[in-house]
Amino acid sequence: MNNIKLVCSKGHERTTIQVGEAVFGRDFVVIAGPCSVESEEQMLAIAHAVKAAGAHLLRGGVFKPRTSPYGFQGLGLKGLKILVRAREATGLPIVSEVLDTRDVSWMSEYVDVFQIGARNIQNFSLLKEVGKARKPVLLKRGMYSTFAEWLNCAEYILNEGNPDVILCERGIRTFETYTRNTLDLSAVPAIKELTHLPVIVDPAHGTGRASLIQPMSLAAVASGADGLTVEVHNDPKAALSDGDQALTPPEFAAIIRKVLSLRTFMESLN
Amino acid sequence: MNNIKLVCSKGHERTTIQVGEAVFGRDFVVIAGPCSVESEEQMLAIAHAVKAAGAHLLRGGVFKPRTSPYGFQGLGLKGLKILVRAREATGLPIVSEVLDTRDVSWMSEYVDVFQIGARNIQNFSLLKEVGKARKPVLLKRGMYSTFAEWLNCAEYILNEGNPDVILCERGIRTFETYTRNTLDLSAVPAIKELTHLPVIVDPAHGTGRASLIQPMSLAAVASGADGLTVEVHNDPKAALSDGDQALTPPEFAAIIRKVLSLRTFMESLN
Amino acid sequence: MNNIKLVCSKGHERTTIQVGEAVFGRDFVVIAGPCSVESEEQMLAIAHAVKAAGAHLLRGGVFKPRTSPYGFQGLGLKGLKILVRAREATGLPIVSEVLDTRDVSWMSEYVDVFQIGARNIQNFSLLKEVGKARKPVLLKRGMYSTFAEWLNCAEYILNEGNPDVILCERGIRTFETYTRNTLDLSAVPAIKELTHLPVIVDPAHGTGRASLIQPMSLAAVASGADGLTVEVHNDPKAALSDGDQALTPPEFAAIIRKVLSLRTFMESLN
Amino acid sequence: MNNIKLVCSKGHERTTIQVGEAVFGRDFVVIAGPCSVESEEQMLAIAHAVKAAGAHLLRGGVFKPRTSPYGFQGLGLKGLKILVRAREATGLPIVSEVLDTRDVSWMSEYVDVFQIGARNIQNFSLLKEVGKARKPVLLKRGMYSTFAEWLNCAEYILNEGNPDVILCERGIRTFETYTRNTLDLSAVPAIKELTHLPVIVDPAHGTGRASLIQPMSLAAVASGADGLTVEVHNDPKAALSDGDQALTPPEFAAIIRKVLSLRTFMESLN
């Protein structure tokens, strides 16, 4: 890594990115919502619940990158309109994943933060396109990305003129099968050594097991993360995607209470 | 894998795909050319050399998925026009990688086979777009793709109406550092157990070392592969990308002579 | 994992193991000391320092499993005698790694806890031999061990009649090169779901970088770990092994103060 | 790897090791037999069958490194005596795995070649002990060993005065689940670039699927391997271990005929 000279490398004061009332890189920011937007009723129920529990941003997928072409592919524009109504109802800014260069321009009319998923981490055309957009980008680590490669992906976005990149550790692929991925929390302090960009953690994709979300969320706070993104569903068993790793609203509320309490403690520790 | 019911699964006679005079799934097909198209002079020299050595298709990248945004990104349309002139001069059909959904339609005027690279293996928008094109697709395995995931990616293309998918094993990411990737030749017979699609091997990306290309090309033939794709450059040390793993034309000719001789022997063995 | 019926599986109240004044499985236990025992002077200095900082057990290797046969192989019996003098001087029980079945019997005269290192995780003869000993065993996860395999290794020890096994997550081998291994903190809550044995964390081997030890130690506490093992050296640059990941005594003291403070906070959180 | 100066490194003429009538490093040597020695009747039947099919050495495990302590652990001395009777009946030298330093001395009265299994690749005490023995050692690659580490393990043996080490590629652990391990055939030419020791291939452990043994055996020959080790059982479904990857004697005979025919062809190719 020594010979990498990137704009995103350290030697710059830490980047802060304001979205709604939350500031990535200063506050501990919680993003929550369902894996997929399924209906207006579902979305509004979840949005009100996660807002009440302390979430700062609302997430929900409308274009889903599914392993199989026969899996649920998302509601598309209809889903975005539902997200917008949930934002109007709660005031929570919205984060949603973009999969296609052709969608960046028009989707930026709806979303507050673009998410780039792990499977598109080296879709360089898409990185360049969101680099031209005027919206922050949540850039998930690829399941096979080294830190150096991940930072180069961020650099593709910065190099197009968009400085507002939030990195997100979401687990890497290893030989372990009990967890869906291996959540690499050492990425949090390591990435902070290497870049001035904020870094958050996705404990649900990182482990694939609802029972591991609380301990890994707390560990993420203690490791120095700038926030979390968590999947919450009002009826996980009926979810159209990723139900195994979604929290119910009461579970989410209990975890966030502990998470925010721990964050306050950690600030007193330094 | 037992519960996957895919169109690309076995239980269908083996798919054959004719490109120029070669038939994937019947002949042993050799694709050769430089990593990147750099100039007309370079391309014509290489095209004539690989044709003389027995190659059936000509490859050359014009949009390059580079780890760093500051790496050479390819010549784009100018490069495609050079490839077309090389095709006119040699009669070799051309294979080139597409990175962006917006490029599929117009690029299909130039190329004979679309290549989808390892980094875009789960760029599902791109897979759907080449699924709508009327050209064969060379689908490289992702560096983190299981066989099941890889076949689902092929299924995205077939499901849009394009049956002409050629799979390409190109190495997976492991802990080993001596080789750039670990070339998984067991993929050849395993994939043939699981699908009727043809499968070829890329020994250059699979190992990242020119010295390993000959033994791994021969091993690929013996494992039952339907072909090879190899990087050939008239001046590897001056190559704008991947010079460490490119063969010179005489090296390529020597290897292909052995490869085709071995293929003939293998056919006599069964 | 569902069909594993192991003695070490859950459905048994949590195992507690007293060593000196500390109780694994109840207290947060800190093990500290140099990678290798180098001299009596070094060992006494470190032992007094880590005791003053709050460590409960003293570690030091006398048989070193080195990648190269030309690396420092440890002081053997002479080193054990030095450890014993350090125990006499400080009252701290000692932990040391055993490599050979022939050494288990006589080493048990000196050590309080046997360590089985990652490289011997599936040295089943050695596991059986420490299973016959009357001392607790600190069993490190192999760098390629799944949770299921690791628990079966513990089972080899329990099956010989020794119930006192302490598991230790120390990082697994992945493709990442910035860290020496990838510390898998999800192992802590996952292993606690699967077994009643205590589990501690080794942040130094898990990352290979001194700068990452503090954040990963704090994250280990927050994930629910029962303790830590940390390498401390009075002169890391002169260490005969693993100097890059050793803490100085003042660094160790600062980290342990935060770690124990965080542990107290975590107990109040539940 | 550049700064490794090992006795086993290149710059020495290729090592040849005679065992019975076969010479590793000169001939293509085939080792065959069951995973475990189960009974005299089984062993004699298999020994006669593999000899008739062209095998040069007989293999059979009597100490089995099983993941679970409740798996079949092998017949021990009784099994060695059965192997000796099979050697007397067929003239085939015998290869068997040693697990414990305490067994090396007395086992050397029975076996012709010691096998060190993947799980003991970094059991340095055991490597030193077989380094003191006067028998060749078949050293399997660990499932997480880099080439550099593997050669250092060979060096432990050479450094004790035993020059007769045969390396064996047997697959590494990756994320793929269709195969039990990922057989890394690039290890064959890579290891030959780095050392003068012979290298053979184990296609059964490398893939874990009987259907893949033939294509991977042929690929191993084409990659330049010095031999194969294959599991053969007269009744795979009744085998006490690894039945899924064992060949029947007729399957073995058919494969070996092709393998030896290909080897002859390969020699004509150079």
Three-state SS letters, chain B: CCCCCCCCECCCCCCCEEECCEEECCECEEEEECCECCCHHHHHHHHHHHHHHCCCEEECECCCCCCCCCCCCCCCHHHHHHHHHHHHHHCCCEEEECCCHHHHHHHCCCCCEEEECHHHCCCHHHHHHHHHCCCCEEEECCCCCCHHHHHHHHHHHHCCCCCCEEEEECCECCCCCCCCCECCCCHHHHHHHHECCCEEECHHHHHCCHHHHHHHHHHHHHHCCCEEEEEECCCHHHCCCCHHHCECHHHHHHHHHHHHHHHHHHHHHC
Number of H helices, E strands in chain C: 9, 10
Q: Do C124 and D149 touch (CB under 8 A)?
A: no
- Does the pLDDT at position B197 exceed 80? yes
CA distance A131 to B257: 47
Q: What is the mean pLDDT of chain A?
A: 95
pLDDT band at D270 (very low <50, low <70, confident <90, very high): confident
pLDDT band at D244 (very low <50, low <70, confident <90, very high): confident
| Residue pair D75/D86 in contact by the 8 Å Cβ criterion | no
Dihedral pair phi/psi, residue B194, rounded to 5°? -100, -20
* Tens-place pLDDT, residues A77-128: 999 999 999 999 999 999 999 999 999 999 999 999 999 999 999 999 999 9
pLDDT band at D240 (very low <50, low <70, confident <90, very high): confident
> Which residues lie closer than 8 Å to D107 by C-beta, 6 or more apart?
D80, D96, D98, D114
Dihedral pair phi/psi, residue C260, rounded to 5°? -70, -35
Q: Six-digit token pair at A76?
A: 């598309």
Tell which residue, B172, C149, B227, has the closest CA to residue D182. B172
What is the C-alpha end-to-end distance of chain D, expressed in Å?
28
* Tens-place pLDDT, residues B7-45: 988 777 999 999 999 999 999 999 999 999 999 999 999
Q: Six-digit token pair at C253?
A: 């003291």
Query: Which residues of chain A make contact with C193, given a CB cutoff of 8 A?
Result: 211
Q: Which amino acid is it at B126?
A: L
Tell which residue, A146, A143, A149, has the closest CA to residue A176. A143
Inform me whether the C-beta atom of residue B144 falls under 8 Å from chain A C-beta atoms. Answer: yes
- Does the pLDDT at position C1 exceed 50? no
pLDDT band at B242 (very low <50, low <70, confident <90, very high): confident
* Tens-place pLDDT, residues D107-128: 999 999 999 999 999 999 999 9
pLDDT band at C95 (very low <50, low <70, confident <90, very high): very high
Q: What is the mean pLDDT of chain B?
A: 95
Name the maximum alpha-carbon separation found in chain C. Answer: 52
Q: Six-digit token pair at A45?
A: 């129920």
Tell which residue, D50, D2, D19, has the closest CA to residue D166. D19
* Tens-place pLDDT, residues A28-47: 999 999 999 999 999 999 99
Q: Which amino acid is it at A44?
A: L
What is the C-alpha end-to-end distance of chain B, expressed in Å?
28
Q: Do C174 and B175 touch (CB under 8 A)?
A: yes
- Does the pLDDT at position B1 exceed 50? no
Give me the interface pTM, i.e. the ipTM: 0.96
pLDDT band at D243 (very low <50, low <70, confident <90, very high): confident
pLDDT band at D1 (very low <50, low <70, confident <90, very high): very low
pTM listed for this prediction: 0.96
Q: Do B66 and A124 touch (CB under 8 A)?
A: yes
Bridge partners (DSSP) of residue D12 are none
pLDDT band at A4 (very low <50, low <70, confident <90, very high): low
- For helices A187-194 and C213-223, the axis angle rounded to 10 degrees is 150
> How large is the C-alpha radius of gyration of chain C?
17
Query: Which residues of chain B make contact with D172, given a CB cutoff of 8 A?
Result: 174-176, 182
Q: Do D221 and B222 touch (CB under 8 A)?
A: yes
Bridge partners (DSSP) of residue D230 are D32
Interface chains of chain A (3 or more CB pairs under 8 Å): B, C, D
Query: Which residues of chain B make contact with D144, given a CB cutoff of 8 A?
Result: 175
* Tens-place pLDDT, residues D138-197: 999 999 999 999 999 999 999 999 999 999 999 999 999 999 999 999 999 999 999 999
Q: Do B173 and C175 touch (CB under 8 A)?
A: yes
Interface chains of chain D (3 or more CB pairs under 8 Å): A, B, C
Q: What is the mean pLDDT of residues B65-91?
A: 95
Out of C119, C124, C155, name the one closest to residue D99 (CB): C124
List own/partner pairs for B82-85 with CB under 8 A and 24 or more apart: B82/B37, B82/B39, B82/B40, B82/B43, B83/B37, B83/B43, B83/B58, B83/B110, B83/B111, B84/B110, B85/B40, B85/B43, B85/B44
CA distance C241 to C73: 10
Q: What is the mean pLDDT of residues B139-149?
A: 97
Out of A70, A99, A142, name the one closest to residue B124 (CB): A99
Using CB atoms within 10 Å of the CB of residue B50, give its burial: 0 to 12 exposed, 13 to 18 middle, 19+ buried.
buried
> How large is the C-alpha radius of gyration of chain A?
17
Out of B178, B183, B266, name the one closest to residue D1 (CB): B178
Burial code (b: 16+ CB inside 10 Å, e: under 16) for C43-61 equals bbbbbebbbebebbbbbbb
Q: What percent of chain A has pLDDT over 70?
A: 99
Query: Which residue of chain C comes nearest to B177, CA vs CA?
Result: C175
Helix (H, G, I), strand (E, B) or coil at D137: strand
Out of A146, A185, A269, name the one closest to residue C176 (CB): A146
Residue A161 burial (CB count, 10 A): 10
* Tens-place pLDDT, residues D75-103: 999 999 999 999 999 999 999 999 999 99
- Does the pLDDT at position D3 exceed 70? no
| Residue pair C173/D121 in contact by the 8 Å Cβ criterion | no
Query: Which residue of chain C comes nearest to B174, CA vs CA?
Result: C175
Q: What is the pLDDT of residue C148?
A: 96
pLDDT band at C4 (very low <50, low <70, confident <90, very high): low
C94: closest CA of chain B, how far (Å): 34
Inform me whether the C-beta atom of residue D258 falls under 8 Å from chain A C-beta atoms. Answer: no
* Tens-place pLDDT, residues A185-218: 999 999 999 999 999 999 999 999 999 999 999 9
Distances (CA, A) of C11 to A133, A262, D68: 54, 30, 19
Inform me whether the C-beta atom of residue A179 falls under 8 Å from chain C C-beta atoms. Answer: yes
- Does the pLDDT at position B2 exceed 50? no
Helix ranges restricted to H, chain A: 40-53, 77-90, 104-107, 124-132, 147-158, 187-194, 203-207, 213-223, 249-269
Q: What is the pLDDT of residue D2?
A: 41
Q: What percent of chain C has pLDDT over 70?
A: 99
Q: What is the pLDDT of residue D26?
A: 97
Which DSSP state fits A144? T
* Tens-place pLDDT, residues C145-185: 999 999 999 999 999 999 999 999 999 999 999 999 999 99
- Does the pLDDT at position C2 exceed 50? no
Q: Six-digit token pair at D116?
A: 């060190």
List own/partner pairs for C78-81 with CB under 8 A and 24 or more apart: C79/C36, C79/C37, C80/C37, C80/C107, C80/C110, C80/C111, C81/C110
Q: Please give the distance of CA B157 from its chain centroid, rounded to a whole number.
A: 16
Q: Do B146 and D215 touch (CB under 8 A)?
A: no
Dihedral pair phi/psi, residue B145, rounded to 5°? -90, 130
Q: What is the pLDDT of residue B4?
A: 52
Query: Which residues of chain D make contact with B147, given a CB cutoff of 8 A?
Result: 176, 178
Q: What is the pLDDT of residue C10?
A: 75
Out of B65, B67, B125, name the one closest to residue A100 (CB): B125
The DSSP-derived string for A157-214 is HHTTT---EEEEE--B--S--SSSSB--TTHHHHHHHHBSS-EEE-HHHHH--GGGHH
Burial code (b: 16+ CB inside 10 Å, e: under 16) for D96-133 equals bbbbbbbbbeebbebbbbbbbbbbbbbbbbbbbbbbeb
* Tens-place pLDDT, residues C71-85: 999 999 999 999 999
pLDDT band at A17 (very low <50, low <70, confident <90, very high): very high
Using CB atoms within 10 Å of the CB of residue A135, give its burial: 0 to 12 exposed, 13 to 18 middle, 19+ buried.
middle
Mutation choice for A interface testing from B100, B153, B165, B182 by most A CBs within 10 A? B100
Q: What is the pLDDT of residue D175?
A: 97
Residue B264 burial (CB count, 10 A): 12
Q: What percent of chain B has pLDDT over 70?
A: 99
Q: What is the pLDDT of residue C195?
A: 96
- Does the pLDDT at position B212 exceed 50? yes
Q: Do C189 and A216 touch (CB under 8 A)?
A: yes
Q: What is the pLDDT of residue B270?
A: 73
